[in-house]
Amino acid sequence: MSTRSSCIACGILLLQTACFSAPNHATPPKWVDLFDGRTLAGWQSIPRGSQDDWSVRDGAIVGRGSGNRLSYLVWKEKDLADFELTLRYRIHGQGNSGIEIRAMPDPSGKRPFVGYHADLGHVGIGPHILGAWDFHFAQRHEPACLRGTRLTLQPDGSLHRETIQPPLPLSAVHRDHWNRVRILARGNQFEFFINGKLASAFCDQVTARHFQKGRIGLQIHDAGTRVEFKDIRLLKIKAQNEKRTKN
């Protein structure tokens, strides 16, 4: 075989090896249970003195609002960035609750945390709460991202809104019964699903000031609210080499 033919054959062999090489057997990411169904191990109540707002009963975390304050139960990890979070929740009667993500202590002291907040409430509370995204910022304008909205917070501070089609109908949310929540946080893009239907979504393109990591927290907004959470599971997503400003 000539030298040229030998080089061509080697090249073909290398190409075939690259295309059909053995798959990467790196350990795939795993779902982690954040609640053992029996105790509040790994969770912390905030603010101080709110520990009696949270308990475990019949395999669920039970939150009961005892005062006119924001009460949180936060997971121990402080640097959660990209992830998928799933859980089930149930609100008894009327109430206002939610799930804080990428939460960090509020430097202004306005509230316990700044971060992004997936709002939950009783059926009928309104599209500004149930199925909406709320923004807890210390130094930025806090726009509305109502249920049924896909919102982009653009670099110059302007907002772009689109209507989600089809929107989440209230008939898909179970009153006084268990509902499934799925939250997807990837880079600067966030989606909030209730019972398998997209409720709201946003993209925070204010790259110098959007929250890149933080804690997960369950919230009670008002006195008298009773909310339950269970089947809380987390899948960490490996960050991708992509521009975070891309919508």
Gap between the Cα atoms of 38 and 43, Å rounded: 12
Could you tell me the two tokens for 43? 């969770």
The alpha carbon of 94 is separated from its chain's Cα centroid by a whole number of angstroms, namely: 23
Q: For position 4, what pLDDT does the model report?
A: 47
Q: In what order do the strands lie in the sheet with 215-220?
A: 43-46, 71-75, 215-220, 96-105, 113-121, 133-136
Q: Is residue 229 part of a domain?
A: yes
**What's the mean pLDDT in 113-140?**
95
Q: Looking at residue 18, what DSSP letter applies?
A: H
- d(CA 134, CA 100) in angstroms, rounded, equals 9
What total of structural domains would you count in the chain?
1
The pTM (predicted TM-score) of the whole model is: 0.85
Q: Which of 2-16, 18-32, 229-243 has the highest mean pLDDT?
A: 229-243
Parent domain of 82:
31-236
Determine, yes or no, domain membership for 82.
yes
Is the distance from CB of 115 to CB of 107 less than 8 angstroms?
no
Identify the CATH number of the domain in which residue 132 sits.
2.60.120.560
pLDDT band of 36, cuts 50, 70, 90? very high
> Within a domain: residue 143?
yes
Lowest-confidence range among 11-15, 47-51, 149-153? 11-15
Flag whether 19 is in a domain.
no
240, 111 Cβ separation under 8 angstroms: no
Q: Which residue has the higher pLDDT, 15 or 112?
A: 112
Place of tokens 């923004």: 135
pLDDT of 77 reads: 98
Q: Residue 102: is its pLDDT beyond 70?
A: yes
